[in-house]
Amino acid sequence: MQVGWYPSANPDGAYELVFSKAGADPTDADIVLLRFESREKRLVQEKIDLCLELGARGFTEEELRQLLAETAH
């Protein structure tokens, strides 16, 4: 999982959350399970909590993709 403000130090930027398979390159679209952007810290924190909760439940990669896609709004 990677979280940052992009573009860095730009007040017009946004938080970006990338949740991917463990040990994988987060720039590889095939292994990214969720990419989420928002200017609202609370919404990003909610997505982080959801990713951690679902990831800990032992879902398959495809199940995770589907569950995260359903909550991507």
- CB-based contact 36:16 (threshold 8 Å): yes
Q: What is the pLDDT of residue 16?
A: 94
User: pLDDT tens, 48-73?
Assistant: 998 888 888 888 888 888 888 887 65
Is the pLDDT at 10 greater than 90, yes or no?
Answer: yes
Domains contained in the chain, number: 1
Question: Do the Cβ atoms of 27 and 21 come closer than 8 Å?
Answer: no
Q: Which domain holds residue 35?
A: 2-70
* pLDDT of amino acid 24: 64
Edge-to-edge strands, sheet with 32-38: 2-6, 14-20, 32-38
Higher pLDDT, 73 or 3: 3
Q: Would you say 47 and 17 are in contact if contact means Cβ atoms under 8 Å apart? A: yes
Please state, as a whole number, how many other Cβ atoms lie within 10 Å of the Cβ of residue 35.
Answer: 15
**pLDDT for residue 64:** 83
Q: Residue 3 is encoded by which pair of tokens?
A: 């979280």
